[in-house]
Structure 1
Amino acid sequence: MLAGRKQSIAPLSVEAQGATVETLLSSSEYREFAEEDFDPTQYATRVIQAPTDSPYHGLDITTSLAKLSFGIDHLNKHIQEQVSTHYEDLLQQVSGLSDIEGILASVKQGVHSLNTSLHRVRDKVLTPYQDMQDRTLQLERIQTTAEILRRLIRFMYLLRRLDVQLPGGERELPKAALTVCELIEIAQDPELDGIDIVDAEKPGVMQAKQKITTDGEELLHRGMAMQNQTDIAAGLQVFFNLNQLAAETKTVCDGMLHAITQEMQMALDPVAVNREIKESSPPRRNVGSPAAIVQAVTPVKLWTRVEHLMDVIYDNANKVYQMYRVLKRKKDSATHKLFADEVAEGLESDLLDYFWRGLSTSFERELRLGTKSSQGLLHEFQTGYPRLLRLVHNVFTRLSVANGADFSSDGQIPDSILVLQSLSPLETSYLSRSLSRLLEPINAAFPDRIGLAIRMPPSRDDVDKVIRTLGSELEAAKFDPHLLQAVARNASKAIKMYWTKCEQYCNVDANLQQIVTAGTATHGQLLVIESINCLWYMQDGVYKVLTEFSGSGLDDTFNEILKGISRALQGMVEPLFSQITREFESSILKIHKEDLASRFASPTRGQSESSTSQYVGEFASKVRWVHRELLSKLQCGDESREWIRSLGRRIVEYFLRHASLVRPADEGVGRLLASDMTHLEFVLSQWFAALGMKLDRDLGDSYKALRAFRHMPFLDIPQVTALRTSQNVPPSIIIHHLLARAHPHMPFPTLLYAWSEAQYSDWLDARSEDEALQILARCLDAYAAEIRQKGGVPRPEYNAAVQMLKEIAAEK
């Protein structure tokens, strides 16, 4: 009821009051008092202090108080107006308060009833809860006590078991270690602190642990020394049961590294080496004995110490490998985790990696200190680096045989890479000295002859020294693929320097290389010949040396060396043979200056005068001179014959080309050409016979074409075209002959393009056989066009040439 009355009255009152409040708040005089954070004290302070931004600035306190009093009176007046205006609503509000009091009384009675019920429920629940809480606490205490008692019983049981296991010897040692580990774990429980039985037994348990640890160490060391994996496994199991596997493994490994380091210090200590020499050397009777004896003994003593050091490294490394093999096989029976993985977690790396890293670090440090303090030690290790490297390889080879270690692709055990890296400074020095040794005989073979008028090429003895040095350096490094590769690179540099110097020796004035068939060969020509011989001898010697090292992974390097020598040799040979070829070609070109037709038709010439042309005699004299002065001095084995074979083929092919251009190609001129070819063949045969060669065997198809061309002027046209397949005569030669037969009716390329025979020949050298046939086809087309224009009949030579070109095109 009250709620209904409030709902009917409140909206009007609230609406009217809200409008009044808004009207008051809109006034600047009351806005500050309506703020939520209004503080009277701060307001009074501002009024008293009256800052410049305050409305009371410049007023005294009395005026401010009067202003406040006026505001209060204004508010009171406004309140009275509101009361007088809404008195009916206020009376209705007062009349509804009696109904609200009745409702409140009933609510209070209900709340009292609810509290009474709550007290009754709490009394029923609280007592059982407190009882259960007490019983639960008692149960927890009973369980805790029972657990402590159980641990005490277990502790006593383990003590009795330990008393039985300790006298059991090495067989019971792992079990005793497991028992002691559990006893220590129980004794360290904070809940058992202060229990007399536990405190009394703690010293005995620790003594048992110490004894088990000592016996386990002895068992482990004895197993590694005797290579007994059963003892090693038992020792490792002891420390695994003691939760000390990683720590003990690290201790054993560090002990081995310390022993090796001490041995390194002894082996690489120059003072100790000299002291040992003095102690072992007999007293000198002769005061003037040479000091070289001591210097000879020092390397022996040094290498003896190094060999002993390698034996120590092998012994300790073999022990580590034995232990590692056992760790890789054994695993935790509960978690099936390998012992090796647990050790790796404790060492933060693999056991073998930890050992070899520590050894390589110590080896590098001791080598650096030893060589820094003694120049003699440094010199001995630099010059004898292969021996040191061989000793290191021997260690890992023995380890691989004993433990089955795997080799990498370059023939090295992966573990050896760390140790070999510590030798890198010595390797660098050795390779530098090795390169110097390789370059020394080369520099001696090419002395600096500035100021001398005559330069001399290296002799065979100089080349032999280079080859012997090369073989010696490769032989010293062949046991190690990496070192052999490095030495091979040095050899490549040295040999490249050799052929570079040879090329420089051949760079003489071009005028000195001109071939003049009168007199003897010039010094420049002989220098080129000797340089070629020496470079070929070097190539042959290097090939024999490198053949001994084939299959060692250096085939690519060796092939590059041989290819480089071959390119250099070819670069020296080609200019010489090009000059010789030009001389021979200049004589053959004079065939076009011979008036063969006039010679054959002239009745005043005798048979002897007309049998041989002048150019053939000139060619023969040049061949004899070149053979005597130049080619007979080439001593390059089969390659000399190959060069001469290529020269002979070029001469024959060049002669056939220009002989086929001789016009007219009738029987009379053919007889003269046949005579010239017979003499040419005789000259070439004598030349080749002097070199142990034969024309038919060494010139092949070129010689057959020469023999066939001799009879070509006397054959019918079908027989001539058949020579292309029967005697391998080039088609361009046959078409030249057909054009020469039809002279002057069918044009030659020289006439069609206004070329000389030499220019046409140069054009043919720069083009292929197909391009030569194309230009000859243009000549035939020009002839055919002229015949069609005149309305004549083509000559049979034209028909034969066109038919042959068609056959060649069909074959392609």
Structure 2
Amino acid sequence: MLKILQVQHLQKVLVKKRDPVSHVCFIDEIIKDGQPDILYTFWTDVTGTLSDDFHRATEASSFLKQAFEGEYPKLLRLYNELWRRLQQYSTSLLGALTSSGGLDMPLDITTAEVESQDLFTHGKHDYNPEKALKDSLQPYEAAYLSKSLSRLFDPINLVFPIGGRNPPSNDELESIIKTISSELNVASVDPNLSLAVAKNAAKTIQLFCVKSEQLLCTQGDASQVIGPLTEGQRRNVTVVNTLYRLQQAVAKIISALGACPPAAVDALLSSLEGVQALMSSAVQPLLQSVSDSIEAIIITLHQEDFSGPLSSPDKPDVPCSLYMKELQGFISRVMADYFKHFQCVDFVYDNTESIAQRAIELFLRHASLLRPLGEGGKMRLAADFAQMEMAVAPLCRRVSDLGKPYRMLRSFRPLLFQASELIASSPTVGDLIPYSTVLHFLFTRAPSELRSPHQRAEWSIARYSQWLDDHPSERDRLSLIRGALEAYVQLVRARQGKEFASIYPIMLQLLQRATSAAQGPKA
């Protein structure tokens, strides 16, 4: 060991020391003719000898070969301890030599500078002796990693037999998780080994996802929302719950890894993103079916009569429209019949909240397109606005968490009873509620000859709603609305009318403001 330390310090000093006259580094003089530096030559000989000795020993003894491969982390730990001891002795020896005068330090190099020279990069060589020492064990590392991957894959292949239709049980999943944890813990003796085993663990999680995906039901009964859970839906729920438990367990393992290399943590976290993506894919058909059903219910508001006057005391209005009762009942039922079986509550809400937002946006869209709308209809529609909050409540943690759609719902309701001039000048218009939505609503206050955009195009409400989905740009929507207003102007002029409806100039002024806003500020 003393010889190793002497060579190390000789290399360090030669790298730092320069000729006082020519200022040429001493190491440059040694390697100027293409000769390798001292440390490179010495460690090449040492590691080559170690590799040869290990090879001969393991070739002669299968027991020794199995021990080196199976207990590689222990062997690597011994190497790491050897290197730490070398570094410790190096520091001690340097101090002793310096204090005794045995190492004549030049004026341009300090003890700290010599001591900090761990990786030697000079001339043609970029050489790390610690890495070279560990590289002599490379065959055993490769064999260990291969066996480690087999240990990780074996329990997964066991619980996902060919032709099987059931996800792993809790006990089987626990066995897989323990195997992952054990392999990562054993590999924690070395950062590079930790990274390699973490990549193996990530492959294991990916394999689990592939096997789980093969169990998912993708047929029509996976998305039905008419009757109770089908067998395929139950299996999908179980697969998602199993993936969720795996995700939570691996996340817990990651948090307990301690001084694990960041790259290893990233590999594991990346594999968990795959788990999350598969969970989302598994529930997507059901979510889409629920969203489509909600839209189909909301659009039926056009089949109800909102044209009536204010009700008399002996004929009070119903507190809630029929479509709204159906909507509330449907949402409550699907949450109870389908989504309550998922254990991943936050995951479910993250997905159903987007359905709630979409439901509110559709309700506002169709409420603004509703015509004719009488005073009694306004009162009933206002009640529906309040009931809408109750309808979507099961889909979210709190209705107020739904963000802009919730604020639009709250802001639009007072507009039902305001004068048209006040609506057009409301600060919420354009800022919170889109101009196109408010213009749609103002059509309901116009005479029948001032037709809504979908009436002018002779589209059904359903087709127009789809067009609005396909054209989210306000510029496109305003262009269609402008066409409806221009068609009205042509109609009035064709019959030689003397004046336009009182709502027309209000709508035209609002449209001009909206068009200017849609075009953005001028350069």
Cross-structure match for 1:433: 147
Alignment partners' CA distance in 2, 1:341 and 1:613: 91
Q: Which amino acid aligns with 1:418?
A: A
Alignment partners' CA distance in 2, 1:335 and 1:710: 88
Cross-structure match for 1:774: 479
Alignment partners' CA distance in 2, 1:724 and 1:529: 46
The residue correspondences of 1:314-463 to structure 2 (distance < 5 A) are 314=1, 316-322=3-9, 324=11, 348-403=35-90, 404=115, 406-407=117-118, 414-450=128-164, 455-463=165-173
Q: Deviations over 1:339-391 (max 9, x none)?
A: 87787799953222222112222222222222223332222222221221222
Aligned residue for 1:660, secondary structure, equals: helix
TM-score (norm 1): 0.54
Cross-structure match for 2:384: 676
Instruction: Give, in angstroms, the shift of residue 408 of structure 1.
Output: 5.4
Cross-structure match for 1:476: 186
Say if 1:750 and 1:425 are closer, same or farther in 2 by CA, change over 3 A: same
Cross-structure match for 1:747: 451
Q: Which amino acid aligns with 1:576?
A: L
Matched, 1:500 2:210: yes
Instruction: Give, in angstroms, the shift of residue 459 of structure 1.
Output: 4.2
Residue number among 441, 446, 460 corresponding to 1:737 in the alignment: 441
Cross-structure match for 1:626: 334
Cross-structure match for 2:292: 582
Say if 1:512 and 1:792 are closer, same or farther in 2 by CA, change over 3 A: same
Alignment partners' CA distance in 1, 2:427 and 2:459: 27
Percent identity reads: 30
Say if 1:464 and 1:733 are closer, same or farther in 2 by CA, change over 3 A: farther
Q: Which amino acid aligns with 2:230?
A: T
Instruction: Give, in angstroms, the shift of residue 479 of structure 1.
Output: 4.2
Residue number among 238, 241, 252 corresponding to 1:530 in the alignment: 238
Q: Which amino acid aligns with 1:351?
A: I
Residue number among 307, 315, 319 corresponding to 1:597 in the alignment: 307
Cross-structure match for 2:363: 655
Alignment partners' CA distance in 2, 1:762 and 1:561: 37
The residue correspondences of 1:723-734 to structure 2 (distance < 5 A) are 723=426, 725=428, 728-734=432-438
Instruction: Give, in angstroms, the shift of residue 713 of structure 1.
Output: 2.9
Cross-structure match for 1:806: 512
Instruction: Give, in angstroms, the shift of residue 325 of structure 1.
Output: 5.4
Instruction: Give, in angstroms, the shift of residue 401 of structure 1.
Output: 3.8
| Range moving further from structure 2, 758-767 or 630-639 | 630-639
Residue number among 510, 513, 523 corresponding to 2:223 in the alignment: 513
Q: Deviations over 1:557-591 (max 9, x none)?
A: 34533433333333233332111111111111221
Instruction: Give, in angstroms, the shift of residue 538 of structure 1.
Output: 2.9
Aligned residue for 1:543, secondary structure, equals: helix
Q: Which amino acid aligns with 1:588?
A: I
Say if 1:325 and 1:627 are closer, same or farther in 2 by CA, change over 3 A: closer
Q: Which amino acid aligns with 1:439?
A: F
Query: Residue 344 of structure 1 contacts residue 351 of structure 1 at CA under 8 Å; is this kept in 2?
Result: no
Query: Residue 708 of structure 1 contacts residue 723 of structure 1 at CA under 8 Å; is this kept in 2?
Result: no
Q: Deviations over 1:430-484 (max 9, x none)?
A: 111221222234334434344xxxx333345544444443333333334433323
Say if 1:325 and 1:582 are closer, same or farther in 2 by CA, change over 3 A: closer
Alignment partners' CA distance in 2, 1:331 and 1:700: 69
The residue correspondences of 1:63-78 to structure 2 (distance < 5 A) are none
Larger radius of gyration: 1
Say if 1:630 and 1:749 are closer, same or farther in 2 by CA, change over 3 A: same
Alignment partners' CA distance in 1, 2:415 and 2:503: 13
Cross-structure match for 2:321: 613
Cross-structure match for 2:421: 718
Query: Residue 69 of structure 2 contacts residue 140 of structure 2 at CA under 8 Å; is this kept in 1?
Result: yes
Q: Which amino acid aligns with 2:364?
A: L
Backbone CA RMSD of aligned residues: 3.6
Instruction: Give, in angstroms, the shift of residue 323 of structure 1.
Output: 5.4
Aligned residue for 2:225, secondary structure, equals: coil
Q: Which amino acid aligns with 2:432?
A: N
Alignment partners' CA distance in 1, 2:178 and 2:80: 26
Matched, 1:701 2:404: yes
Query: Residue 405 of structure 1 contacts residue 413 of structure 1 at CA under 8 Å; is this kept in 2?
Result: no
Alignment partners' CA distance in 2, 1:749 and 1:782: 10
Cross-structure match for 1:217: none
Q: Deviations over 1:43-88 (max 9, x none)?
A: xxxxxxxxxxxxxxxxxxxxxxxxxxxxxxxxxxxxxxxxxxxxxx
Q: Which amino acid aligns with 2:301?
A: I
Query: Residue 407 of structure 1 contacts residue 413 of structure 1 at CA under 8 Å; is this kept in 2?
Result: no
Alignment partners' CA distance in 2, 1:458 and 1:742: 63
Instruction: Give, in angstroms, the shift of residue 760 of structure 1.
Output: 1.3
| Range moving further from structure 2, 674-683 or 426-435 | 674-683
Say if 1:752 and 1:540 are closer, same or farther in 2 by CA, change over 3 A: farther
Alignment partners' CA distance in 1, 2:274 and 2:50: 41
Cross-structure match for 1:795: 501
Q: Which amino acid aligns with 1:487?
A: V
Alignment partners' CA distance in 1, 2:116 and 2:71: 27
Q: Deviations over 1:209-252 (max 9, x none)?
A: xxxxxxxxxxxxxxxxxxxxxxxxxxxxxxxxxxxxxxxxxxxx
Q: Deviations over 1:703-741 (max 9, x none)?
A: 232233334332211232345627822322211111122
Query: Residue 364 of structure 1 contacts residue 422 of structure 1 at CA under 8 Å; is this kept in 2?
Result: yes
| Number of residue pairs aligned between Structure 1 and Structure 2 | 484
Query: Residue 396 of structure 1 contacts residue 413 of structure 1 at CA under 8 Å; is this kept in 2?
Result: no
Normalized per residue, the structure richer in helix is 1
Alignment partners' CA distance in 2, 1:575 and 1:514: 9
Query: Residue 332 of structure 1 contacts residue 338 of structure 1 at CA under 8 Å; is this kept in 2?
Result: yes
Alignment partners' CA distance in 2, 1:637 and 1:606: 44
Q: Deviations over 1:641-682 (max 9, x none)?
A: 222221111111111111222111221221222233333333
Alignment partners' CA distance in 2, 1:738 and 1:761: 17
Query: Residue 216 of structure 2 contacts residue 282 of structure 2 at CA under 8 Å; is this kept in 1?
Result: yes
Say if 1:542 and 1:738 are closer, same or farther in 2 by CA, change over 3 A: same
Q: Deviations over 1:269-309 (max 9, x none)?
A: xxxxxxxxxxxxxxxxxxxxxxxxxxxxxxxxxxxxxxxxx
Q: Which amino acid aligns with 1:808?
A: A
Say if 1:322 and 1:447 are closer, same or farther in 2 by CA, change over 3 A: same
Q: Deviations over 1:89-119 (max 9, x none)?
A: xxxxxxxxxxxxxxxxxxxxxxxxxxxxxxx
Query: Residue 663 of structure 1 contacts residue 743 of structure 1 at CA under 8 Å; is this kept in 2?
Result: no
Aligned residue for 2:444, secondary structure, equals: helix
Q: Deviations over 1:601-629 (max 9, x none)?
A: 999x9547x44333222222211111111
Aligned residue for 2:386, secondary structure, equals: helix
Say if 1:653 and 1:431 are closer, same or farther in 2 by CA, change over 3 A: same
Say if 1:471 and 1:807 are closer, same or farther in 2 by CA, change over 3 A: farther
Alignment partners' CA distance in 2, 1:342 and 1:675: 93
Q: Which amino acid aligns with 1:746?
A: L
Residue number among 777, 786, 789 corresponding to 2:491 in the alignment: 786
Say if 1:346 and 1:701 are closer, same or farther in 2 by CA, change over 3 A: closer
Say if 1:769 and 1:347 are closer, same or farther in 2 by CA, change over 3 A: closer
Alignment partners' CA distance in 2, 1:550 and 1:753: 64
Give the unaligned 5+ runs of structure 1: 1-313
